[in-house]
Amino acid sequence: MDMNKFAKDLLQQALHLDTDITSFNSATPLLGNLAELDSIGVVNVITLIEEQLDCTIEDDEINAEVFETFGSLVNFIQSKQSGYS
């Protein structure tokens, strides 16, 4: 699975983005860069990760560092991928 594409699709779906994010790379900042990534947006992203990868994300796994950059989000998704079917 192309994790970058998966993460971009996930962000588009969870946040209903009008912004073109095809150029996002591992250093692209998310928090403070995407207005849609507010507290509700974070919950939407987490929920979609859980649904898409059939996993559970505990509260203590979530912090600002996960959503700091596109790369940190991709790394987090990869860590949860074990439940993906």
Residue 1 has pLDDT above 90, yes or no: no
Which tokens in the block code for residue 26? 């591992």
Q: What is the mean pLDDT of residues 59-72?
A: 97
Domain range summary for the chain, segments of one domain joined by +: 3-14+28-83
Write down the pLDDT at residue 25: 97
- The number of beta carbons lying within 10 Å of the beta carbon of residue 6 is 18
Report angle CA 79, 6, 1 to the nearest 5 degrees: 75
Report angle CA 67, 46, 54 to the nearest 5 degrees: 130
The one-character DSSP state at 69 is B
Architecture of domain 3-14+28-83: Orthogonal Bundle (1.10)
- Among residues 7, 32, 35, 37, the alpha carbon closest in space to that of 22 is found at 7
Calpha distance 40→4 (Å, rounded): 22
pTM: 0.91
What percent of the chain is predicted at pLDDT more than 70?
95
- The pLDDT tens digits of the residues spanning 2-36 come to 999 999 999 999 999 988 999 999 999 999 999 99
